[in-house]
Amino acid sequence: MTTPTLAPPVSFDNTQIAFAAKSDAQLRKTYGLFAAMNNNGLVKTGSGLMQAALKWGLPGTKFLIKHSIFEQFCGGESIAECRPVVAALGRYGIGTILDYSVEGEGNDASYDRTRDELLATIEEAHRSAHIPFSVFKVTGVASAAILEKIQAGQALSAAEEAAHTRAVARVEALCARAHQHGIRLFVDAEESWFQHTIDALADEMMAKYNREQAIVWNTYQLYRHDRLEALQAAHDTGAQTGFFVGAKLVRGAYMEKEARIAKQRGYATPINPSKQATDDLYDEALRYCVQHVARISFCAGTHNEASSLLLTQLMQEAGLAPGDARVWFAQLYGMSDNLSYNLAHAGYHVAKYLPYGPVEAVMPYLLRRANENTAIAGQSSREFLLVQRELRRRRGR
């Protein structure tokens, strides 16, 4: 019996590979930024000061932000500014997902501008060998209030019906353009009180555009206890009616908000009772996707090392090559380079979410990243320690 060829071993501790793209000066700058983010008081004070300085238009504020935290976590203020970052990631076999991170103003003009910018990201992906996905939030092109009313079974007024028809047309335009160019398109997950409306829309788009391959990919937040069931239902519908499922698996992004709204409205929280329960459900979803990879193409959007390693093992056990086009890993730009670069080095498909937009407009995103790293961290921050270890390794050369 021939022994199957196993994928190259992956070590997420290999800092030489993880930071190969950074010069010594760049690495020291990253070290200083993560060291600052390890200081909870500094992050809280600094966040408030940055927002106030931008609001007041203090000279030099935008320059300082753009060349520090913005540079770490964002690609630029426009698609054009992102191109050098896209090329740099591409040299190491890492794809880019251009993520337009500007929150809309909640009117048709704003929704249309966002649609046009998203169409531009699809066109950019079509022209580039290094942009395998585009992504959008439905609330970037549609009213959250109307989506919520639909989920609650409430009747829409004539004006709301017309607004929703225009919103669906925007989503349709994005999916049609992605299908035209063969670009995979992520539909981001959002809050539970209108997520089922988004699911129904995503399923409708998958049924229309995923006949030959997975073009439209819905997102499943596995910190919700019902999300694996939703994925399984999409798979079963696809199998019955003849479309492929695209699935991005994440843990989730709205936990505190979900708990607060559930308490206010008097219903049980949709969130799992513990982090362990979420981890278990996430890994179960990975197993399900590997077992059903004939119908499901999927992306593990995670910074969790254990889940990432598990997926490499599941792929080996199932006889899937690291470069199988149906399986992807994704992390946020500026974080978890030890996962992204080591996975890509071992031949796996990897992409980085690359937020972009005007500095002022992406501040909410940047502050979430700063607070997230602080919450994880203190001196035990994984990011901080890995950068520190690589600097020590380089000094010892």
pTM for this predicted structure: 0.92
Helix (H, G, I), strand (E, B) or coil at 62: helix
pLDDT for res 34: 81
Evaluate whether residue 32 is within a structural domain: no
Among 190, 143, 194, 185, CA closest to 167:
143
- Highest mean pLDDT (candidates 171-175, 361-365, 391-395): 171-175
Evaluate whether residue 387 is within a structural domain: no
The mean pLDDT value for 62-80 works out to: 89
Q: Is the pLDDT of residue 59 over 80?
A: no
**Domain housing 212:** 76-366
Q: Find the range with the poorest average confidence among 48-62, 83-97, 214-228, 283-297.
A: 48-62
Q: Is the pLDDT of residue 97 over 90?
A: yes
Higher pLDDT, 66 or 289: 289
Instruction: Kindly state the tokens that stand for 361.
Output: 């407009």
Evaluate whether residue 24 is within a structural domain: no
pLDDT for res 378: 40
Instruction: Assign 66 a pLDDT band (cuts: 50, 70, 90).
Output: confident
Q: Is the pLDDT of residue 51 over 90?
A: no
- Give the pLDDT confidence of 218-243 residue by residue, as tens digits: 999 999 999 999 999 999 999 999 99
**Cβ-based burial of 120 (10 A; exposed 0-12, middle 13-18, buried ≥19):** middle
Alpha carbon distance 319, 6 (integer Å): 8
Q: Is the pLDDT of residue 57 over 60?
A: yes
- Give the pLDDT confidence of 113-127 residue by residue, as tens digits: 999 999 999 999 999
Evaluate whether residue 2 is within a structural domain: no
pLDDT for res 371: 62
What percent of the chain has a predicted confidence (pLDDT) above 90?
76
pLDDT for res 132: 98
pLDDT for res 103: 77
pLDDT for res 56: 67
User: What is the number of other CB atoms lying within 10 angstroms of the CB of residue 93?
Assistant: 18
Evaluate whether residue 176 is within a structural domain: yes
Backbone Cα Rg of the chain: 21
- Give the pLDDT confidence of 244-255 residue by residue, as tens digits: 999 999 999 888
Instruction: Assign 1 a pLDDT band (cuts: 50, 70, 90).
Output: very low
The mean pLDDT value for 55-64 works out to: 71
pLDDT for res 380: 39
**What are the contacts of 84-90 at 24+ separation with CB within 8 A?**
85/333, 85/354, 86/128, 86/130, 86/131, 86/354, 87/130, 88/21, 89/21, 89/130, 89/352, 89/354, 90/129, 90/130
Evaluate whether residue 27 is within a structural domain: no
The mean pLDDT value for 322-347 works out to: 96
Higher pLDDT, 84 or 68: 84
User: What is the number of other CB atoms lying within 10 angstroms of the CB of residue 95?
Assistant: 23
pLDDT for res 40: 64
Evaluate whether residue 45 is within a structural domain: no
Higher pLDDT, 383 or 107: 107
The mean pLDDT value for 75-80 works out to: 96
Strand partners, 261: none
Instruction: Assign 63 a pLDDT band (cuts: 50, 70, 90).
Output: confident
pLDDT for res 158: 98
Alpha carbon distance 37, 375 (integer Å): 9
CATH number at residue 277: 3.20.20.220
Evaluate whether residue 82 is within a structural domain: yes
Q: How many domains does the chain have?
A: 1
- Give the pLDDT confidence of 128-182 residue by residue, as tens digits: 999 999 999 999 999 999 999 999 999 999 999 999 999 999 999 999 999 999 9
Q: Mean pLDDT score of the chain, rounded to an integer? A: 90
Helices 108-127 and 158-181, axial angle in degrees (round to 10): 10
The mean pLDDT value for 53-68 works out to: 72
